[in-house]
Every structure is written in C-alpha cells, then in structure tokens.
Structure 1
C-alpha cells in the first residue's frame, strides 16, 4: 500500500484553525511570501556553495514587483542550524500557507543534515512568510525531524533523509502536511523515463490479465499534472505507433506518464503491487483532484 510521510497531522506550528482570516498585511495570493499580492519565485540550488562550504545548498527567493531578492540558507538569520558540507539545503522545496495567515511559507528539504551524532538523518525546515518577508515574522521558522520532539513520526536513523529519495516528490496539503507522491511507470526505455527506473521489457506480458482493463482505465482517469504539445511513440513496436501525449498524470498519491495506460492496455505491463492495491481500494476510479491539489504537487515538481 502507498505510504505517506506525514509532516504534521495537526495544524502547522503557529496555525490557529479557529481564525482562518488572513493576517494583516498578508494577501492570500499563491506563492506570495511577503503578502503584497504579487507572486514571488523560489529557485532551489542544493549544490550551491554557502560561505565557502561546498554543496551546503540554498534557495534563491525573488520577491515580485521588484521588492528584492533573498538567498535562503542555513546561514540566513532566524534559520536554525548552520550550513554544512553536502547537506544540500533545497534538495526539495514546496510552497504553501502552512499557518493559514495569508502569507505563503516554504518547506525546504535537507536530506543529508546530521542530527546529533546521526549522520544524514535529514531535516525539513519550514520557513514562515510575513509582511516583512520570509523568516521575519513572530515565528520565523521551525525545523522538523523524526523523533518524539521533532514533530515527525518514527525515529531518525543514519542515512534516513528528510526528503523522499529521487523517484518521489512531495506534495503539501495544509490539512495533512508533507505527503510523498510516488513515481509509477517511468521506464528506462522511455525517452521521458528514468535511466535508473525499471525495465519495460522485463515487465511486459507479466500483468494480471483479469485486471488489465481496470488498470488501464484507472491510469487514463488520472488528473493531468503537466502536458506538452508533443506526442510519444511506442518504443516496443517497429511501427512506432502513437502512444499518446507527452504528459504526466496523477491521482494525488502516484504520478505516471500519460502513455503508461497505452502500454498496460497493449502489452499487459506489470505494475507495483502497492499501486494495484491502492487502485483496487478505489474501485479502479482515480479521484478527481482540484486545481489547488495540482498546484501543490506542481510547486514541488516544478519550482519556479
């Protein structure tokens, strides 16, 4: 079954569920860290050198409307800890309004942060927006890790990164927290696939024919997360038959290339059992996602 990495099942620190009204000076505009009503841009650079420290990582913040720029890192005032070699601050980022005050906040993954004596235990920094900018409010930021006092379930372990491994991305729901969205069917034979992904040839003709149609229908019924004007073609056929648009679909728990349905239908491709269990539990009908749901996932996959 698909698993979820829950950042905080209660409201994020600083949130008052009884008062969803935007704070004074916060516009409620998406991706607006300083609340002026103009969208801002966050650009992650986890390989960046910070204060002479290689691959410490940072996130470039460009405030809209010519309001200036900020290099957000663990050397930034009001951000806990300090920059360290190979931490890769900014390996994953996502933007949402964690405390529902109308100013956007940013969650920054630091997968190789050491916690105490535990190497690469990982950490997530949640930096709050405010009318004065990121990290300038009454509550500037909070570091989240696994452990009884770290607001993440489980205990931290060596090489237990605070962001999902490559092959997964993060979506953020203000009511739930951080949730991993698993990759599905990005086969290494695809031009748009993962070079380290599973083999399409090895999965062909190995699916359960009794549910082949149901799986294909489920995949076709997902919500379109991203699309292009390009078409993709059958990599297993000499005729190079049209397999569909170059696009990415999602159900909020998994994401897959749009042409995956074609390969399941034509070649009975086997897929991971936890995905099959997930789709079966929904009676083979992919849930409809709202624009807000898709924007949250997109914020992690395609940071501006």
Structure 2
C-alpha cells in the first residue's frame, strides 16, 4: 500500500495534510498557518495566541524547558517549536470534533462558547511544558503554578469579569495538569491537549537529542516517524495517521500516543493508525497497526 497515494487530502481546510516535512522548522511554519486558519472565527482565542507567543516570560520558560530536557536529559524538544506544533494539532482535533457535532465541555458546562474552548485548548497547549523549566519529574504538577501568574496577567484583557475568567482558567489549568495523562484528563479540552502533545512525534522533534548522543528507544523510535496527519476519520470523527520508516516507531504510537487516547474522554472519537513504509534493507515485521480502545491491532491492507 502506497500511503501517500491512498490518503486523499482531507476536505476540511483545517485538517493537516499528509506530507513529508522537510524539517522541524518547516513543521513549525505549517503549524503557524494551521493555527491562523482555525482561529479566524475565534477573536478571543486569536488574542490570547498573540499575547502568549509574543510574551518574553513565556519565551524564557520555553528556552529553559529545552535546556533541561534536551541538553541535560537527552530528550526530545519540549520548547517553543514543540508547543506551536502541538497547538496546531490540538486545535485541528477540536475543529474536527466540533464539525462532527461534539461540543467541548466549556460549552456543555455553560462556561463559554466555542471561542472560549479554543482559548482553553491553545492556552493549555502553549503552557503545558513550563514545568520542565524546573525539572522533568512531576513537570505537569510544576507547570500549573508557573503558568498561573502568566495567565493571570494576560487573561484579564480578554475576560474582564473575574467569575468568567476563573471558570476559563479552571479549564486551562485542568488541561495543563493532565496533559501527561497522569492523572487522566477529565474534560474533552484536556484530552485534546493530552493527545495533541503526543501527536508531535516526528523525527524532527527527536533529532536534537539523537544528534547530541542520546540513543534510546525514545529517540530511535521518534526518528522512525516520518509524518503525522490528523484528518476526519472513516468511522470516528478524528483519525490520526502516522507514517513510519521503521517498526521501532510502534513504541511512540503504542506507549505514548495510543495510551493517552485510550484512557481519556475522547477514546470513542479518535482512531490511531500507523503504517510502516520500510526502506531498502529494512526487514518488514508488520505493515502497520491500528490503535483502538487501548488495543494494538494489525493494520489490514485494503
């Protein structure tokens, strides 16, 4: 099966197209375009996007998160580029769910509308890894008190009413706290952030750590991921398709992304499909897998 020929471009303009990214920087540029497209009808979300991505304090936390994770621990990127790519993925998932008639919990709870849901998703996504600027251990716990004063400084310009602002902030902090799936997400918005975080798994993200000499199952698996596409699914509203050059990529799919989908409130709405396209000399162990309800199933060729 030739994945690139058989994957039709998604009809929804907000879906990410399946393509082979030239570089991690190109992925960041594409992510920025995706975010701008999705936020067109959402003025509040567009405002907080501009405020957070241009804020000096936010930029400093991104830099320090990468200092500790990449340079000290030999891990994948956890800084600005990762935050923006993951935000594009998360907003794409949010859009696909809304298009399918699935309302965010911000809307169902009466706390806000779809614009507010976008504020929650992108704010949590941009701030979720701040805790890595202190330490990797329990970083999701640490991210909350670091992000809180930043959000308290920026959100009043969008939500002047203290009560409304507190409700939106509660959703954001909940999503930050559960982005590592420990503990599991409690809202759809938090689950979107959790899944969006792990959807940034291509080899570009793992290149920095690998080039620095970190050779682990995490970095080798990441280097096996060629491309990720988030698109409308055939059976479920969201389908995440992953193209791998090597079966080692299964680790990223099963242990990271698949686990987050399986234990969250979006498990009935998201399918994960990973397909192997082995290169010359690579022994093909399997053609691919489908992750559904926490189970790893063989991918069946059409």
- TM-score, normalised by the number of residues in structure 1: 0.31
Structure 1 or 2: more helix by fraction: 2
- TM-score, normalised by the number of residues in structure 2: 0.31
- Give 1 or 2 for the bigger CA radius of gyration: 1
